[in-house]
Amino acid sequence: EVQLLESGGGLVQPGESLRLSCAASGLTFRACPLSWVRQAPGKGLEWVSGISAMGGEHTYYADSVKGRFTISRDDSKNTLYLQMNSLRAEDTAIYYCTKYAGQYTGNSYFEYWGQGSLVTVSS
């Protein structure tokens, strides 16, 4: 059974940084492209970032986070990360770790979802 477990969320002030982690099990982690999707309280879903399999040579970002967030992975630890810098109030959301179907980040869909980790940016 595929399991994705996010951690690292919490309350931070505007301008601060936070790193989310997603520990994966039940899959061949290094072969899996992965992504982060977020959902602000009471709002819709927003794709945030994606990373290719096999070391994560290719990364992709939504315009809303480009230059502030960095996605990465450690295949030796079966863990996905999202480093979030210069956080803003509008980054407040539940952040879901997701696995793309197939081998690539393109022409795919979000096959598995974690339970999410809440990030709150407030002074």
Query: Where does this chain bind other proteins (CB under 8 A)?
Result: 35, 37, 44-47, 50, 58-60, 62-63, 96, 101, 105-111, 113-116
Long-range contacts of 86-90 (CB under 8 A, 24+ apart): 86/15, 86/17, 87/12, 87/14, 87/15, 87/16, 87/17, 87/18, 87/119, 87/121, 88/14, 88/121, 89/14, 89/121, 89/122, 90/40, 90/64, 90/121
Which residues lie below 8 Å from residue 30, measured CB to CB, with a gap of 6+?
53, 54, 55, 75
Smallest distance, other proteins to C-beta of residue 3, A: 12
Task: Identify whether the C-beta of residue 3 lies closer than 8 Å to the C-beta of residue 11.
Answer: no
Smallest distance, other proteins to C-beta of residue 86, A: 20
Smallest distance, other proteins to C-beta of residue 23, A: 16
Q: Which is nearer to other proteins, 2 or 14 (CB)?
A: 2
Smallest distance, other proteins to C-beta of residue 112, A: 8
Q: Which is nearer to other proteins, 13 or 23 (CB)?
A: 23
Q: Which is nearer to other proteins, 47 or 74 (CB)?
A: 47
Q: Which is nearer to other proteins, 9 or 116 (CB)?
A: 116
